Amino acid sequence: MIFRLIFILGIIVFLGGGEAAAQGPYPPPAGQPGTTAMYKDSSDFIAWAVTCSVSRGWMDIADTALGKVSYGTSSYATGKADNSVVSLGDGGTAVLTFNGYLYNGPGPDFAVFENSFSDDFLELAFVEVSSDQINYIRFPAVSLTQDTLQTGTFGTLDATNIHNLAGKYRAGYGTPFDLDDLKDSANINVDSIVSIRIIDVIGSVNPAYASFDSQGHIVNDPYPT
């Protein structure tokens, strides 16, 4: 995957990861009625990530002889969302920080940008936040995409089947996250968030390698990429 985060905020990173399923219950792609996509030039964004630390994942977790990904540098994930990207690879992570801290205000509190060229070629990632840079709490992600048939390298997904996963929207449009979703979680202060962690969804439907959502579903996205 490729991503970028915003501080309502801003970041981009490259995630490693069928056909789109029937319409689901979640908001549709950018530009459609009911979407929650946030354009990068929106005045809602008041700051952007200033540091990024990347731990690279494999090019293909099922064939580690291929090595790890290497495209881009961690600095590409900081500053205002643009066309620069950094590759995470299968299961790779990026930890981002910013000047000050995030707090749980009305509506979405930050957003994450990816570099998809279309509304349905979507490479996904989990998002976690921390108020102490030790304990990270994951947003309750949901993927209703079928998980019996592997979405191929150039396969597509339906955004309306995806919730609380970065990468839901095409380049230039951030996926918003609301800290209110985590207000009852232990080991976190949602009014003092100091870092955000992005974790690549592997995308494989093979249980040996799969990533699972908050409801125990396998998250199926383009694999291998």
Average pLDDT taken over every residue of the chain: 92
DSSP lists the bridge partners of residue 53 as 95
Q: Find, among 122, 121, 109, 86, the residue nearest to 38 by Cα.
A: 109
Q: Find, among 139, 154, 118, the residue nearest to 215 by Cα.
A: 139
Which DSSP category does 122 fall into? -
* Helices within the chain (DSSP H only): none
Summarize pLDDT for 63-114 with one digit per residue, the tens.
999 999 999 999 999 999 998 889 999 999 999 999 999 999 999 999 999 9
What the block records as the tokens of 160 is 């309306």
Angle at Cα 209 formed by Cα 206 and Cα 213, nearest 5°?
90
Per-residue pLDDT at 83: 85
154 within 8 A of 20, measured Cβ to Cβ: no
Contacts of 6 (CB under 8 A, 6+ apart): 38, 40, 45, 48, 49, 81, 110, 111, 112, 113, 174
Summarize pLDDT for 45-62 with one digit per residue, the tens.
999 999 999 999 999 999
Cβ count near 215 (within 10 Å): 10
What is the DSSP pairing of strand 87-89 with strand 110-114?
unpaired
Cβ count near 64 (within 10 Å): 11
pLDDT value at 20 more than 80 = no
Taking the C-alpha atoms of residue 220 and residue 222, their distance in angstroms, rounded to an integer, is 7
pLDDT band at residue 1 under the 50/70/90 scheme: low
pLDDT band at residue 175 under the 50/70/90 scheme: very high
State which H helix or E strand residue 15 sits in: strand 10-15
Cβ count near 30 (within 10 Å): 20
> CA 39 from chain center: how many Å?
16
What is the DSSP pairing of strand 93-102 with strand 51-55?
antiparallel
Percent of the chain with pLDDT over 90: 88
Q: Find, among 197, 211, 202, 201, the residue nearest to 94 by Cα.
A: 197
